[in-house]
Amino acid sequence: MKHRKFVVISTVIMVGIACAVAGLALYTNYSVKASVPSLPDALSNIPSDCQFIFGINVQKFVSSPAYARFQQRHGAQIGSDLAQFIEKTGVDPRTDISYLVAAGRAKDKEKGEGVVIVAGKFNRDKITAYIRSKSTPVETEYAGASVLMVPERSGEAINKGLVFLDDGEIALGDLESLKSVLDIRAKGNKSIMFNPTMSKLINGISPEEMFWFAGDATGIIANAPVSTPLGANISSIQSIVGTLNIAETVMGKITATAANADSAAKLADVARGFVALGQLSGDQNPDLKTLLGGLAISQDSTQVSIALNFPTDLLDKLGTLHRPR
C-alpha cells in the first residue's frame, strides 16, 4: 500500500546504519499522535533484555530540508492515499508523530524479536476500526490488555501485532516482545534503562538527535554473518552507538568500543583501509569520492569513531546512479 510506504519512508529514510533493527519500523503504518517525551520516558516500556535500539525524532526530520526534498518529489504520488489514511485514523504522520523508539534482541541467525513504541494521544476505537478494515486481526488477552495480532497478507502466519498500553502509548512487535512490554507494567519487570550496558550507551545520547542507535555487540556478534568488511576484527567489538542528523549536510558519528586498545587500533586500520580503497575506486565517480572524503576515522584508547560530514545533495546524486533507466 502506498500509505504504508509513505509512513515507512518518511520516518526511516537514512537509518541504514541501524539496519539490524530498521525492519521493525514496518509497523509504523499504525501511527498515533505523539508528544515529544524525554528519552528515559520514551524507553520506559522497552524490555531490559533488548540488545539493540534505535530512535527517530520524527518532527526534527519532517522539518528538515531533506524531508522537504522528499515531499517535493513524492508528494503527488502519495497524496491521495495519505488523505484517505488521515481521514480513517485521524492521524497525519507528518505532524502527529513526534518520536519513535524500536528495540530488539537477536535469537539466532534467522530470527530476531523486537518491539516499536510510539508515545502519543490517539482514538483507540478509530485506529482499531481502521486496522480491522485492512485485515482480520486475532485478539489475545494478556495482563489486562488486548493484543491484536495482525496478518500481513491473507492466509499467512500471524507473527506481528500491536497493543494499546494506555491513552498515551502503543506498542508493536512479535507476541513475546509485546508480552514482555506488558510485564513491565503488570509485574514490575525492569526496562532497558536498568540494563547496565544499554543504559550507559543510551544516557550518552540526546533525544534531540534526528536518528540514533545503540547496541550491545557482545550479544549480537555470535549471530553476525561470518564474512564482513571488518573480518575477524568484528569479534572484538563490545558495543556500538551512533547518531545522524540531516539538514543541508549529513552529520553524524558512529563509535565502536573494542575489547582493548590493540583491537581498537586494528579496527581503525581496517576502517581507514576500507575508506581509502573506496576513494581510489571513486576516481571514476567524483561524488562518491567527495562522500568518502567526508568520513573521518579516529581512535581514542578502546574506542574507534567514524565522523560523517558531507552535503546532503550527494545522496541524491549517488542515488540516481542506481535507479533503473
Distance CA 294, CA 41 (A): 35
Query: Is 65 inside any structural domain?
Result: yes
Distance CA 185, CA 191 (A): 10
CA 22 to chain centre: 4
CB of 46 closer than 8 Å to CB of 173 = no
Query: Is 167 inside any structural domain?
Result: yes
Question: What is the model's pLDDT at position 111?
Answer: 58
Residues 6 or more apart whose Cβ sits within 8 Å of residue 199: 192, 193
Distance CA 142, CA 94 (A): 32
Query: Is 119 inside any structural domain?
Result: yes
Query: Is 263 inside any structural domain?
Result: no
Q: Is 178 exposed, middle or buried (0-12, 13-18, 19+ CB in 10 A)?
A: buried
Query: Is 320 inside any structural domain?
Result: no
Query: Is 311 inside any structural domain?
Result: no
Q: Indicate the helix (H) or strand (E) that contains 147.
A: strand 145-149
Question: What is the model's pLDDT at position 23?
Answer: 32
Helix 286-293 vs helix 313-320: crossing angle, to nearest 10? 140
Written as tens digits, the pLDDT of the chain (325 aa) is: 443 333 333 333 323 323 322 333 333 333 333 334 456 677 889 999 999 998 988 788 888 887 777 777 766 666 667 777 778 877 777 777 778 899 998 765 455 688 998 876 677 888 888 888 878 888 999 999 999 998 766 556 677 889 998 877 889 899 999 999 999 989 999 999 999 999 999 998 887 889 999 999 886 665 555 555 555 667 788 999 999 998 888 899 999 999 999 999 998 998 888 888 777 766 677 777 777 888 899 999 999 999 999 888 777 666 544 444 4
Question: What is the model's pLDDT at position 302?
Answer: 95
Residues 6 or more apart whose Cβ sits within 8 Å of residue 250: 14, 244, 294, 308, 309, 310, 311, 312, 314, 315
Question: What is the model's pLDDT at position 31?
Answer: 33
Question: What is the model's pLDDT at position 20?
Answer: 28
Question: What is the model's pLDDT at position 98?
Answer: 76
Q: Indicate the helix (H) or strand (E) that contains 31.
A: none
Closest CA to 57 of 98, 27, 25: 98
Range of the domain at 36: 2-207
**Count of structural domains, the chain:** 1
Query: Is 196 inside any structural domain?
Result: yes
Query: Is 135 inside any structural domain?
Result: yes
Q: Which residues pair with 31 in a beta bridge?
A: none
Q: Indicate the helix (H) or strand (E) that contains 325.
A: none
Question: What is the model's pLDDT at position 35?
Answer: 38
